[in-house]
């Protein structure tokens, strides 16, 4: 009850107001639009060569994109945000801050696209990857190396819903590298969104989200975001956006900015629905296990309550049988769809 009252007090704050207004100030533009315009121009007039007033080329920056980035930074409790053309593009941008010989320590249960990118692409460029169970902090600590430059955690994880102790990982990293260059701690916040969890407030250097999922929320945009409070690192990311080019379209930024305005309302309902489904599944005779951090049966339920302000619509469960039975189950769904996109 005490946790629930604290959660309500925190999430009830100004999140919805910030989502609706931050980054969308009409006074940004001379004609005072209530809704930020979709700026489709690829280039902008300069008063003199090499002296752009604000923007020069849309790959580097765009007024519609800026409005969306400012909104997300505010919601994440950060100062800066970089929007990218997909969640994996955001991952790629972060990895592009590394060099050959560096080491990434990543949680062992992670989004399949991240796993594929790290182990089948990044590993080909001289960057070492170690996958480790993030729920065992001592084991996680033992896998840190002198050349570790990035810690990649996802919480809750996809698909087994493990909870990574963000503050615990940050503390271990700071102690291990005291007086040395400290690896960047990256937290994938996609399953929680900034409405239910703010990794930056727990000490992470960056919070990354696949906007494609909950933030946009309408299954019609592919995009990613990176939020941070580190100005030097933000400047490096903005340089890489220009140099590497994984920028989102202005129209997608407009759609995502519109979608995020209802994030707080949608996440509350997602939580209500998933808990109802999870409790029902726990009683079903053909379900052997339900994995939902909001249920007391989850092995890290108490950590989830400390770290998160609520729970999303994501859950996993195991039914009796094997692949054939699982396929039959998915083919028999009447309300949900068997699809590769979740959290939308």
Q: Which residues are catalytic?
A: 59, 111, 188, 213
Q: Which ranges of 220-296 does DSSP label H, i.e. alpha helix? A: 231-244, 250-260, 263-282
Q: What are phi and psi of 42, to 5 degrees?
A: -85, -20
Annotate 71-131 with DSSP letters as a single string.
Answer: HHHHHTT-SEEEEESSHHHHHHHHHTT--TT-EEEEESS--HHHHHHHHHTGGGGT-EEEE
Q: Strands 206-210 and 287-291, how do they pair?
A: unpaired
Strand partners, 103: 128, 148
Is the bond preceding residue 45 a cis peptide, omega within 30 degrees? Answer: no
User: What's the rounded Cα separation, in Å, for the pair 323 and 30?
Assistant: 60
Query: Cβ contacts of residue 75 below 8 Å, gap of 6+?
Result: 15, 18, 19, 22, 194, 195, 260, 263
């Amino acid at each position: 009850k005490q946790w629930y009252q604290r959660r309500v007090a925190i999430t009830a704050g100004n999140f919805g107001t910030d989502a609706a207004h931050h980054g969308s100030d009409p006074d940004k533009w001379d004609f005072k639009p209530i809704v930020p315009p979709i700026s489709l121009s690829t280039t902008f007039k300069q008063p003199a060569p090499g002296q752009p007033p604000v923007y020069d080329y849309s790959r580097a920056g765009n007024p519609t994109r800026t409005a969306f980035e400012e909104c997300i930074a505010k919601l994440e409790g950060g100062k800066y945000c970089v929007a990218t053309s997909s969640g994996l593009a955001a991952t790629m941008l972060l990895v592009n801050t590394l060099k050959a010989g560096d080491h990434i320590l990543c949680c062992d249960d992670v989004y399949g696209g991240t796993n594929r990118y790290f182990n089948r692409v990044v590993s080909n460029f001289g960057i070492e990857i170690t996958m480790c169970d993030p729920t065992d902090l001592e084991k996680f600590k033992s896998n840190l190396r002198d050349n570790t430059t990035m810690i990649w955690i996802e919480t809750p994880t996809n698909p087994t819903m493990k909870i990574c102790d963000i503050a615990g990982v940050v503390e271990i990293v700071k102690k291990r590298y005291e007086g040395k260059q400290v690896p960047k701690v990256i937290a994938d916040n996609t399953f929680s969104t900034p409405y239910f969890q703010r990794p930056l407030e727990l000490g992470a250097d960056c919070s990354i989200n696949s906007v494609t999922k909950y933030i946009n929320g309408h299954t019609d945009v592919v995009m990613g975001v990176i939020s941070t409070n580190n100005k030097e690192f933000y400047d490096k990311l903005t340089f890489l956006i220009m140099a590497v080019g994984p920028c989102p379209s202005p129209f997608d930024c407009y759609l995502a900015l519109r979608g995020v305005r209802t994030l707080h309302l949608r996440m509350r309902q997602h939580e209500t629905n998933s808990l109802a489904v999870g409790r029902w599944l726990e009683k079903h005779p053909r379900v052997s296990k339900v994995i939902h951090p909001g249920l007391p049966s989850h092995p890290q339920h108490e950590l989830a309550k400390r770290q998160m302000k609520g729970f999303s619509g994501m859950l996993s469960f195991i039914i009796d049988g094997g692949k054939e039975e699982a396929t039959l189950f998915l083919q028999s769904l009447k309300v949900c769809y068997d699809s590769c996109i979740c959290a939308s």
